[in-house]
Amino acid sequence: MTLNQQRMREAYPQTPDVVRIRMEQTLAGIRREAAKQPPRRYARRLSFAVTMALVTVLAVGAVAAGAHFGVFDFMKKMFGASGVLPEAEELVQQNLGSLKLEHTTLNVDEAVYDGGTLHVVYSITQNDADAPLTEQDAEDSQSAFQLAVAADAVHMECDSFWVNGTEYCMTNCSTVDTMIGENDGELLCYLDIQLASAGIVPDGDFTVKLPVAGGNGDYQTLDFTVQASGSDWQPVVLYSDNATVTLTSAFVSPVRIYATLRLEMNADASAQEADETFEDWAEAELVDAQGNRLAGMTELMPENLVDGESVDYSYTFLPTEAEEVYLAPTFINEQGEWAVDMTRALPLQ
């Protein structure tokens, strides 16, 4: 079975261009005029098109002999470094579920839930294989491995998933990758599903079903239960002179730090005030109680943008060992310098 790139792109939609372009124009323009300096660059996750280009060639040349790859190994492979703290190993869950088919067996090798994203590594193994896969085996539609995959109607992409019995379309900015495994006839598939940014925040342990075989509504699913601590998070509301900011969820983990907020301008706010406020929060920093920067942002997802009125932001930051963590917007102070505004800081931990 060969990967269908168009289907994959549709299954994992990116942020709409109209939102991305508008936000980038706003971010670039206001700061250049106010600070007379170039806008900062943001670290962004690889675009899905780039990720899929890597998936298409399987990136197996460097490990053609096969390798054991877990969640953090895939993160390092995709983004250059996993960026997790040592304590992150405590979140790794292994061998959570399997699905045995006539020609192949699928197994959930590892899963990590960090409060915002579900990271999963599952294997697809040819049942009668007697040697590790090669690059040719993985790519050739007529190889024994690919014929076994096709016979069982196994696919390496999921356009939906279930959490606690509720089906969801694959969320924005979720990604996939693959790697040849160390065992005979084994291909490893990595999937991270963005949950918190889509408003999916399970309370405690939750069940997951991935439709990995079949089609046309008749799927066989790879089922497993993810252990997660319960959350007593309550939204935090900040009222400022011209806007209401609601921190709808936050999670601090040794893998990543997540925060989602809704920004709503007051009815009497001007267009310029809206642009400036949107900009301030788009460039929010992760800081301690004194306003010192703790960790860099790896992703910002603006959604539900209503120009001049409201926007939802989902932030992802690298982890920190700090005991107090705040999300604070930035602004240009009286000295014309960039600064964080602790009067509008929101506590994450």
Task: Name residues of the chain where pLDDT drops below 50.
Answer: 1-9, 12-13, 15-22, 25-66
Cα 312-314-319 angle, rounded to 5 deg: 155
- Whether 303 is in a domain gets the answer yes
Residue 22 domain flag: no
Q: Is residue 148 part of a domain?
A: yes
Residue 255 sits in a domain of what CATH number?
A: 2.60.40
Q: Is 0.85 topped by the overall pTM?
A: no
Q: Are residues 53 and 177 in the same domain?
A: yes
Amino acid code (one letter) for 224: F
Does 17 fall in a domain?
A: no
pLDDT tens-digit profile of 279-291? Answer: 999 999 999 999 9
Where does a domain end: 226, 250, 278? Answer: 226
* pLDDT for the residue 310: 95
Give 36's Cβ-side CA count (13 Å radius): 2
SS (H, E, C) the chain: CCCCHHHHHHHCCCCCHHHHHHHHHHHHHHHHHHHCCCCCCCCCCCCHHHHHHHHHHCCCHHHCCCCCCCHHHHHHHHHCCCCCCHHHHHHCEEEEEEEECCCEEEEEEEEEECCCEEEEEEEEEECCCCCECCHHHHHCCCCHHHHHHHHCCECCCCCEEEECCEEEECCCCCEEEEEECCCECEEEEEEEEECHHHCCCCCCCEEEEEEEEEECCEEEEEEEEECCCCCCCCCEEEECCCEEEEEEEEEECCCCEEEEEEEEECCCCCHHHHHHHHHHHHCCEEECCCCCEEECEEEEEEEEEECCCEEEEEEEECCCCCCCCEEECEEECCCCCEEECHHHCEECC
State the Cα–Cα distance between residues 197 and 302, nearest whole angstrom: 10
Residue 7 tokens, joined? 């289907």
The domain total for the chain is: 2
CB count within 10 Å of CB 160 equals: 13
* Structural domain harbouring 271: 236-347
Last residue of a domain, one of 226, 247, 266: 226
Question: 210 - beta bridge partners?
Answer: 222
What's at 132, amino acid-wise?
A: P
Tell me: do 106 and 78 sit in the same domain. yes
Residue pLDDT, tens place only, 127-146: 999 999 999 999 999 999 99
